[in-house]
Structure 1
């Protein structure tokens, strides 16, 4: 009989105490996944994995060490604990490490209300293969598509449990179902590609494979025969597919680890305007049926809804226990970790205020400029926010899309860019990052 993760984590905690640890916590993850790839109408690859991974963090005074393993036999757990304690004894002291105090721990450890796991039967390999075939067929039915480089379908489920010597013990399950397709048109140097995909917790929410394949094909054709725009300063509309990258740069800059190292362009922006007045950026780990939701963080603290930016003003950092202690602040319930390392600050689900205008309306308003639908490479100066990225998309003239473009570089400064964003109202509400298309005025484009 397979041990429950509750039993497994508590046995390893006891092993750590027996080995001489003053305190410890254990994260265990048991999961299975299956992925199917189809090409040219035939099965190209099928993979299935099943594993139980366990990570142990031990404290000896103010010294800490992490070890991980996928071998959960009793004798292996004992060796794992002994090695972790021996490593901790040789580690340097860190005044900020340590478990949460018992009164900091959340009592809310159930997850059913978040709907993170789909209880319907796991799809068979044949069902997933059919999804991949349907997506490929739909893409190839789009006139002008010459091949599909990848058509895939997958399913995964996980059981997660966290236990610690401070008394915390809690766990939950996750599941996901996905379909994706990459289509190609043209040949040689005139070849273009684009993609579409969807991933959901509940299989019933997943878009059809036919819709995904058809959209991948249509997007690819729109990119054919691209040009380079003239170098200059223009408005740039970041399409909803990639607009969350701009918000991602802000989230990285306010991460407590970067703030504690004093290596962030947002270091002096707390309590100051970082977005236009009227816009807010909200973290909500309690959105049902969203992949980033969670009932508690990786240190057993309560997750909570909070405004990261309120009415354009930055309200705080993202902090786990250690970075909060370094900065003399309260943690935000934002710790995440895997089995191979300790906690670090993170955010879960975030949403940016929606605008009053749709994407087409912003394109009409921008006059002449660039709509960006894909980006490559990245040069971001973490200290001052200077921004430079390669991009492709569509050139706009007189408020209408004129032709596709590629090989253009966008440059600006994130501090100024974020203050000038104008959001559309086209964000997808089921994503973990709900960010609409964003128009930014006056960016420098390097083209011809």
Structure 2
């Protein structure tokens, strides 16, 4: 019988103390997952994985080191601690490392209110296969779809436990259920593919298999007959599927590590307008049934709702303890970490203010331009915000979609792009990043 995670973390802390560490923290994760792929109505692949990972970070003065393992034996734990302390003694000093002060640590939380664990039973492999097969059948039933690259269904569950040598202990669980499909339309060199899928914490929230298959097929068909766009300056609508990448660049620019290094195009923008005046960007780690929710961060600090951008104005950086100390600011409870790495600033759940217009309204009003549905590669300068990416999607003439576009490059400057965005009202509210389709009124387009 495997040891409880809280027992493993206590053993790691005791071993670190015995090995000579001045302080330590540890994370343990126990996970299991099962996934099924179907092709041609038959099972193509099935995988199951179970395991426990443990990670230990030790401090010797102002030096630190992190080690991890998937073996939880007493011998391995002792060796991990000895190795970590030896590594820390050789590491350079960092005046900003260290555990939280006791009064900074989370003390009360309600994991039940977050609804992160589906109480229903784990689905059987047969049930997963049935869902994947139903998704494939729905896609193949759409005229023009020649084959499927994949139809997949999966389930995972994990337990997480964090402990520190200055008194913090806490854990929570999370489940996930996924279903996806990649459809292929056309033939020969004219083949095109596209996808659809859904991931939810609760099985009962998952979209229906036939809807996912149909949507993947329709998206693949819409990409047939793609051509290069004209070169020039046009409005660009980032489809809801890819729009969160724009907000992701903003989030990267307000990350405490980037700001502390001076490697951010927003490093001097605190208190300045970075979005349109009527838009706000909010982080809320306590949204029920959302994958990014958590009661405390990777350093044991309480998570909380906060405004990153309020009415267009940048209000705060995303900070873990180390980046907060570097910048001389209080931490924001945003440390994310794995078992094999130390903490770093991470946002958990963010939502951008949605607009009043629908996606169709924006397409009608944009006149002639590009709807971006997928992107590849990127050349983005984090210091200046200069932006260039390969893109494909749909061309709009006189407010109507006319044909597919590929082999296209879109370019601009993120500071200007973000300040000018026009949001639709089509964001999926169950996602960790709730971002609607976003219209940028003017970007440079060029056929690759």
Q: Which aligned pairs between 1:323-402 and structure 2 lie closer than 5 A?
A: 323-402=323-402
Q: Show the counterpart of 1:271.
A: 271
Q: Which aligned pairs between 1:94-109 and structure 2 lie closer than 5 A?
A: 94-109=94-109
Q: Show the counterpart of 2:306.
A: 306
The structural deviation recorded for 1:183 is 0.3
Q: Show the counterpart of 1:253.
A: 253
Q: Show the counterpart of 1:27.
A: 27
**Structure 1 regions of 5+ residues with no counterpart?**
none
Q: Show the counterpart of 1:239.
A: 239
The structural deviation recorded for 1:2 is 2.1
The superposition leaves residues 202-237 of structure 1 with CA deviations (integer Å, 9 ceiling, x where unpaired) of 000000111111110011111110122210100010
Q: Show the counterpart of 1:64.
A: 64
The structural deviation recorded for 1:146 is 0.3
Q: Distance in 2 between matches of 1:63 and 1:307?
A: 34
Preserved contact between residue 110 and residue 171 of structure 1 (Cα < 8 Å): no
The structural deviation recorded for 1:109 is 3.8
Q: Show the counterpart of 1:39.
A: 39
Decide which moves more: 348-357 or 223-232. 223-232
Q: Distance in 2 between matches of 1:303 and 1:365?
A: 40
Q: Show the counterpart of 2:297.
A: 297
Q: Distance in 1 between matches of 2:314 and 2:281?
A: 9
User: TM-score by structure 1 length?
Assistant: 0.99
Structure 1 pair 81–110 and aligned structure 2 pair: CA distance change class (3 A): farther
Give the secondary-structure state (helix, strand or coil) at the position aligned to 1:269.
Answer: coil
Q: Show the counterpart of 1:12.
A: 12
The superposition leaves residues 154-197 of structure 1 with CA deviations (integer Å, 9 ceiling, x where unpaired) of 00000000000010000000000000000001122101000000
Q: Show the counterpart of 1:207.
A: 207
Give the secondary-structure state (helix, strand or coil) at the position aligned to 1:221.
Answer: helix
CA-based RMSD of the aligned residues comes to 0.8
Q: Distance in 2 between matches of 1:228 and 1:82?
A: 59
Q: Distance in 1 between matches of 2:198 and 2:6?
A: 33
Q: Show the counterpart of 2:79.
A: 79
Give the secondary-structure state (helix, strand or coil) at the position aligned to 1:234.
Answer: strand
The structural deviation recorded for 1:440 is 0.4
Q: Show the counterpart of 1:441.
A: 441
Preserved contact between residue 355 and residue 425 of structure 1 (Cα < 8 Å): yes
Q: Show the counterpart of 1:48.
A: 48
Decide which moves more: 36-45 or 344-353. 36-45
Q: Which aligned pairs between 1:400-415 and structure 2 lie closer than 5 A?
A: 400-415=400-415
Give the secondary-structure state (helix, strand or coil) at the position aligned to 1:242.
Answer: helix
Q: Which aligned pairs between 1:56-205 and structure 2 lie closer than 5 A?
A: 56-205=56-205
Q: Distance in 2 between matches of 1:59 and 1:160?
A: 22
Preserved contact between residue 109 and residue 171 of structure 1 (Cα < 8 Å): no
Q: Distance in 2 between matches of 1:418 and 1:236?
A: 12
The superposition leaves residues 356-375 of structure 1 with CA deviations (integer Å, 9 ceiling, x where unpaired) of 10000011111111111111
**Structure 2 regions of 5+ residues with no counterpart?**
none
Q: Distance in 2 between matches of 1:88 and 1:440?
A: 48
Q: Distance in 2 between matches of 1:100 and 1:405?
A: 51
The structural deviation recorded for 1:403 is 1.1
The structural deviation recorded for 1:404 is 1.1
Preserved contact between residue 13 and residue 24 of structure 1 (Cα < 8 Å): yes
The superposition leaves residues 25-50 of structure 1 with CA deviations (integer Å, 9 ceiling, x where unpaired) of 01000010011111112111111000
Preserved contact between residue 109 and residue 170 of structure 1 (Cα < 8 Å): no
Q: Distance in 2 between matches of 1:354 and 1:86?
A: 52
User: TM-score by structure 2 length?
Assistant: 0.99
Preserved contact between residue 376 and residue 391 of structure 1 (Cα < 8 Å): yes
Q: Distance in 2 between matches of 1:416 and 1:351?
A: 20
Q: Distance in 2 between matches of 1:447 and 1:30?
A: 48
The structural deviation recorded for 1:110 is 3.5
User: How many residues in Structure 1 have an aligned counterpart in Structure 2?
Assistant: 448
The superposition leaves residues 293-335 of structure 1 with CA deviations (integer Å, 9 ceiling, x where unpaired) of 0000000001010110000000111000000000000101000
Q: Distance in 2 between matches of 1:108 and 1:377?
A: 43
Q: Distance in 2 between matches of 1:275 and 1:339?
A: 36
Give the secondary-structure state (helix, strand or coil) at the position aligned to 1:271.
Answer: coil
Give the 4+ runs in structure 1 shifted more than 4 A: none
